[in-house]
Structure 1
């Protein structure tokens, strides 16, 4: 697989100005469910959580990272072979924020010239977005193209209101492997769900969403949700590893050992201009302090984005107002770290998630500019 075509497409789409700069990235992951599919009983996982691939990054070539002072500051037992999120904090996102150890940890990361980076993926959003992506480009309406991302976010918001019914609908029609004869009845049922739950959207948004789905019934095909394996929503996650390697092809990437991902990359070797890509490797976190730090970072970010996905906007706002003590300090530290990363390089942070949920990031962390750019 040649990475340059993928790379250039992402650079143009997101206007990435510093993709050629040299950095050292440490990557860990959280909430990798391997596959997401539907059977007669529903989803194969009991709870959908946000997948995060990310960690810490610094400018230039790899350098030694001495985490012994951090271990001592957090009073981690000498018998513990490595730092893990469990040593720092436990529980849900709001529980984690209360940890004084997290305060120590985040201050250490910033004081040592390290930035954070991450790719966030909401598996439900990823699974549903192809419906809109199959319709909008075929309609050729410039106004709808401008609202493409909003329409996907609105559809996700509505379908979450009847998640069980949505999953059953997907199973019935073999989504995302619809048969041509199933196209219209599938969209009819989808429209019924939208009509029952349109109150979660502004009236205009609901009207446009319904009109787009109705227009889809007249299309000759729905390219992204027809002809694929039935009921297989996500096949694997190595694509996101490839994306990070591709965009920052001049940088060094050190990944925590994920045997399945490593095997897939070995089976489909990455190339650039015909030459093998060798800017990445997999390592044991016990031997790489940068991976241990990344474990904590992605653990916190995974809990944070899962909280945003599962929590209404008004509740998020109320939870933010209630923060005090270490919780408030940690929220400010996270805000500062994400802002610093975004200022350094907008490609450090990437969201494949509902815009409504990404907006909660700004609502909760209160970035200085008042608007988080993703």
Structure 2
């Protein structure tokens, strides 16, 4: 069994959470769950790296009926459709989706029916490489580097994203993330060479500092988080992120869309708290749970948005935002207001695992009223 209390305590202390004791009802769905991410001689096992999102909607208190008949009618969903999914609301990439008048109806309905959006997003490339920086700065014990670890990780992500095929080839060559001790210096040397080749993607000072950190890593006796682990396995599974949501809000109810791999994992390793089984969650058929149907649309939209940020430069994001008009602009503002309301209600409702530069794009595009987006 897995005891959730230690995980819960560490998350609350690390992120300064103050409302984790409250009682809520969460409806969860997911998008872009690739199950596993690993490296073969031919490259990654997936065609494209898209941002994983687990989330949906939440309301205060115990579960209550959610009647979406008025929403279905307003969006003119055919009676033959057994449930609402993103495909019924909008299609295409993020900018295409924003043009949908049905999305306007949907976002307004969420805001007007006592619901708040909640989600955890994860960039699989970022998650796969952060251990490089952490392995170095945890051993250097430099307070300044600790303060700027998020920026260093974001900078490294920008460099490695610049030529993903070269990055994957480098990782395959050295069996990353399971380096052999003798590969430590050659791996970092090749990583530095890649940084030098693509340094133009970073401000000069950022590139210089990142290079110095990587060079310092060559003098360490070990890289704790990327040596001795299984080779070529970047992400083994996604159950950790489900576990974290359930653990942090252990006094809340969690209703999750059926996901076979996650259900099997929880059956093999049941959750416990204080020696007793955790029973605050259940998996359900989305056709019978309107809250999960709403979650499908929410995570689908947010998955497209955060993937767009990973694929688009700050300059392009700014231009795209400046060019929004009519329905697209209205939907961007509605989404901004929903995210702001979620943050105001409880900062733990949102959790971002991605480059600091990509989170900056969230503010660039949605233009929060305070001019800065508070990340968790």
Length-normalised TM-score, structure 2: 0.99
Please give the residue correspondences for 1:204-353 in structure 2 after superposition, counting only pairs within 5 Å.
204-353=205-354
Partners of 1:144 and 1:286 in 2: how far apart? Answer: 49
SS at 2:254 equivalent:
strand
Cα displacement (A) at 1:24: 0.2
Please give the residue correspondences for 1:40-119 in structure 2 after superposition, counting only pairs within 5 Å.
40-119=41-120
Partners of 2:146 and 2:74 in 1: how far apart? Answer: 51
**What do the CA deviations read for 1:160-182 (whole angstroms, capped 9, x no partner)?**
11211110000000000100011
Q: Which residue of 2 aligns with 1:183?
A: 184
Q: Which residue of 1 aligns with 2:40?
A: 39
Which is further off, 36-45 or 269-278? Answer: 269-278
Partners of 2:15 and 2:97 in 1: how far apart? Answer: 32
Name the count of aligned residue pairs: 374
Q: Which residue of 2 aligns with 1:366?
A: 367
Q: Which residue of 2 aligns with 1:171?
A: 172
**RMSD over equivalenced CA pairs, Å:** 0.6
**What do the CA deviations read for 1:208-260 (whole angstroms, capped 9, x no partner)?**
10111011111111111111111000000011000000000000000000011
Cα displacement (A) at 1:62: 0.4
Please give the residue correspondences for 1:15-30 in structure 2 after superposition, counting only pairs within 5 Å.
15-30=16-31
**What do the CA deviations read for 1:33-79 (whole angstroms, capped 9, x no partner)?**
00000000000001110000000000000000000110000001000
Partners of 2:141 and 2:34 in 1: how far apart? Answer: 36
Q: Which residue of 1 aligns with 2:145?
A: 144
Q: Which residue of 2 aligns with 1:134?
A: 135
Cα displacement (A) at 1:359: 0.6
Query: Which ranges of 4 or more aligned residues in structure 1 deviate by more than 4 Å?
Result: none
Partners of 2:262 and 2:290 in 1: how far apart? Answer: 21
Partners of 1:7 and 1:218 in 2: how far apart? Answer: 36
Q: Which residue of 1 aligns with 2:200?
A: 199
Gaps of 5+ in 2: none
SS at 2:153 equivalent:
helix
Does 1:10 find its partner at 2:6? Answer: no
Partners of 2:114 and 2:334 in 1: how far apart? Answer: 14
Partners of 1:135 and 1:142 in 2: how far apart? Answer: 13
Which is further off, 30-39 or 191-200? Answer: 191-200
Which is further off, 221-230 or 287-296? Answer: 221-230
**What do the CA deviations read for 1:128-149 (whole angstroms, capped 9, x no partner)?**
1110011101001111111111
Partners of 2:204 and 2:105 in 1: how far apart? Answer: 46
Partners of 1:258 and 1:161 in 2: how far apart? Answer: 33
Partners of 1:371 and 1:264 in 2: how far apart? Answer: 38
Cα displacement (A) at 1:202: 1.5
Cα displacement (A) at 1:196: 1.1
Partners of 2:220 and 2:274 in 1: how far apart? Answer: 38
